[in-house]
């Protein structure tokens, strides 16, 4: 079982029962700075969730719906976000180094100042995404859609 903690070091196990409970916790701001390392959030609904400063290293977010989510300053290094919906997500200053975003939908996402070092964006939809001052060293954009 994954133990989720917020910035006040409160354990939020009750928020992990299913995606609806987790989404409600996120909307109440209880997941700001949450420790979601190694969490399996496969196909979870986290639309418009407030996950600022969350630590999500090595998390599985394949097919997750993070559209409109606030992930500013979140640590998503080594996370698997393949085919995730991140349309309109706020990823400003997020760490996405070594993350797998293959086939993810990032239309209109804000990736300003984000660390994308060695991230995989193969086949991702990046139409309208913002990349101001973004670190892209070693990132793989083969087959990605821009424009």
In tens, the pLDDT along 45-98 reads 999 999 999 999 999 999 999 999 999 999 999 999 999 999 999 999 999 999
Domain for residue 22, yes or no? no
Residue 6 pLDDT > 60: no
Domain for residue 5, yes or no? no
Domain that holds residue 123: 37-147
Radius of gyration of the chain (CA): 14
89 is written with which tokens? Answer: 């997500």
The total of structural domains in the chain comes to 1
Domain for residue 27, yes or no? no
CATH of the domain at 125: 2.160.20.80
Q: What is the largest CA-CA distance in the chain?
A: 43
């Amino acid at each position: 079982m994954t133990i989720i903690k917020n910035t006040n070091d409160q354990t939020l196990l009750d928020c992990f029962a299913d995606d609806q409970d987790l989404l409600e916790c996120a909307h109440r701001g209880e997941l700001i700075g949450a420790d979601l390392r190694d969490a399996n959030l496969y196909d979870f609904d986290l639309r418009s969730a407030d996950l600022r400063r969350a630590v999500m290293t090595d998390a599985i977010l394949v097919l997750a719906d993070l559209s409109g989510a606030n992930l500013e300053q979140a640590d998503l290094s080594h996370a698997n976000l393949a085919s995730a919906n991140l349309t309109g997500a706020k990823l400003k200053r997020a760490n996405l180094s070594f993350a797998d975003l293959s086939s993810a939908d990032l239309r209109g996402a804000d990736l300003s100042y984000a660390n994308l070092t060695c991230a995989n964006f193969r086949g991702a939809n990046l139409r309208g995404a913002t990349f101001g001052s973004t670190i892209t060293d070693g990132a793989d954009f083969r087959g990605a859609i821009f424009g």
